[in-house]
Amino acid sequence: MIKRTLFFGNPAYLSTKNEQLVVNFPEDEKPPATIPIEDLGFVVLEHPQITVTNGLLTKLIQNKTAVVTCDKQHLPCSLLQPLTGHSEQTERFRQQLIASVPLKKNLWQQTVMAKINNQAAHLQERQLYAKKLFRWATEVKSGDAANHEAIAAAFYFQNLFAHVPDFSRNQKGIPPNNLLNYGYAILRAVTARALVSTGLLPSLGIFHKNKYNAFALADDIMEPYRIYVDALVYEIVQSGEEVTELTKSLKADLLSIPAMDVSIDGKKSPLMVAMSRTTNSLYECFLGSSRKVLYPDYGN
């Protein structure tokens, strides 16, 4: 079942009754709206004047609903997840912690190869030059010592948004960087949710190791999925819609990311479901029962 994503951009009072999320808008005279908590996958809280009861938070977390809060720039900045995400969590933590360096390097190699192949497939779909990316994907070695990931990313964005004057991929750069930032933040939340549900530590990465990064593993595993954000943002830009400001309409488009169709091994499913397949396959690699992480194949 596809879990719903709820976005709150206005003042609201959120509570719970009879396993339902109850929504009251102080400026609205209409009766409270109710949504079954079991249907929810993500709740995004943007407005600073939103009140949430502890009872509701507890039920959302028990349902493994990711609660995302936003900063003054309206970008997702925090993620609330359960302390215990899986019944075998302690054992799964142990397997993750004892993973060898060669295994981590191999996992990162697979991740980078999948990411670059997806970038190449996306450029090819847009009838843009992609041969270099397809070649670079085959040249990635264990641990990506030659840093093909960064080289390919620079080439990819230079070509994908070549029609946008002065564009370069930078968090504080000109639009559509604002759309990419928002989309990647949603994708990061989806990834962290799946990792916690699988019983893994989102903070212990296979490549990303910044001591200030609480979602290092999420940043690793989401890499091959970034292409779905890129494709959606590209379509928005091509439509001619104004992207200088992140409007309610644009956010609604970007919040559809968890439900986007994704193909793994020829089987299509919503992105949030596919991400769980990826994180479960990652655990199997830590366990030693598999050597392959299941990543999406863009365009298939």
Per the annotation, where are the binding residues for Mn(2+)?
149, 208, 223
Q: Which of 153, 142, 129 minimizes the C-alpha distance to 226?
A: 153
Helix axis angle, 101-125 to 226-238, nearest 10°: 20
How far is it, in rounded angstroms, from Cα 237 to Cα 170? 17
End-to-end Cα spacing for the chain: 22
Q: Is 83 helix (H, G, I), strand (E, B) or coil?
A: coil
Neighbours of 275 (CB within 10 A): 28
Q: Which of 291, 283, 292 minimizes the C-alpha distance to 96?
A: 283
Binding-site positions read: 149, 208, 223
Q: β-strand 267-270 against 261-264: which pairing, if any? A: antiparallel
Neighbours of 186 (CB within 10 A): 24
Q: What pairs with residue 7 in β-bridges? A: 44
Eight-state DSSP code of residue 38:
G
How far is it, in rounded angstroms, from Cα 296 to Cα 263? 5
How far is it, in rounded angstroms, from Cα 6 to Cα 68? 10
